[in-house]
Amino acid sequence: MVMLQAIAGFLLRSNSSDPYGSKIDLLAATTLDGEQYDLCSNKWKREGVCDSVTLKQQAKNLRTNATILSRLINMGCSKWVVAMDWTGVDGYAYILSFRDGIFVAHPYANLMVPKRSTQLKLFRETLDFMFKWKHVLLRLATEIDSQPGRRSALRGIVKDTSNVARIKTPTVVITPKSRKRSINEISE
């Protein structure tokens, strides 16, 4: 089973007392034996947000998905994740993979929600992607469930050596700091 958890951020408009969502985070996850496994993170931002906020949120979403992918790789599951990023009614899907020691994002599909009936033909591509994305998430959840040692009572106590070549993934720093950090600060 795949869960979709939406987390909405709220801001107040200066000319209104009504709150509105400035961004929504959608975390696709699966829960197996009481433990949650994240599958990907997706972002929705309101239309008209400035470019600097858009770029900052896109970078944050890439770092979040790199962290999720690191965990999946270390579990011996997938070597890539599919995620989305939206601004208003326009968005895109991308595939994040780990190659030659770095995370690489490749555009996969342009997405949109129609505003007019003349755009319905283009919306079909978005719907096709959504069904493909659902099957990717279900396959990934099945892969996680089939991992040897995932249910082991000794998990966390004894190191699992059942997976053949583990890939060393780099440390992903989620929260940017205003100054450069030393390698010792990153590993803490």
Res 176 pLDDT > 60? no
CA 135 to CA 154: how far, in whole Å? 32
State pLDDT tens for residues 32-82. 888 889 999 999 888 888 898 889 889 999 999 999 999 999 888 889 999
Neighbours of 80 (CB within 10 A): 19
User: For the residues 86-97, what does the mean pLDDT come to?
Assistant: 94
The answer to whether the CB of 65 falls within 8 A of the CB of 81 is yes
Q: What is the DSSP string of 38-85?
A: EEEEEEEE-TT--HHHHHHHHHHHHHHHHHHHHHHHHHT--SEEEEEE
Half-sphere exposure of 186 (CA within 13 A, CB side): 11
Tokens at 125, concatenated: 């591509």
Q: What is the mean pLDDT of the chain?
A: 78
The answer to whether the CB of 39 falls within 8 A of the CB of 30 is yes
186 vs 54: which has the higher pLDDT: 54
Length of the chain: 188
State pLDDT tens for residues 117-157. 998 888 999 999 999 999 999 999 999 988 865 555 445 55
Res 113 pLDDT > 60? yes
Element (H, E) at 187: helix 183-187
Tokens at 153, concatenated: 């009572």
Tokens at 88, concatenated: 């208003």
Q: What pLDDT sits at residue 128?
A: 95
Q: What pLDDT sits at residue 180?
A: 58
Single-letter amino acid, residue 69: L
Tokens at 162, concatenated: 């059942």
CA 14 to CA 154: how far, in whole Å? 54
Sign of CA dihedral 56, 57, 60, 66: negative
The answer to whether the CB of 92 falls within 8 A of the CB of 110 is yes
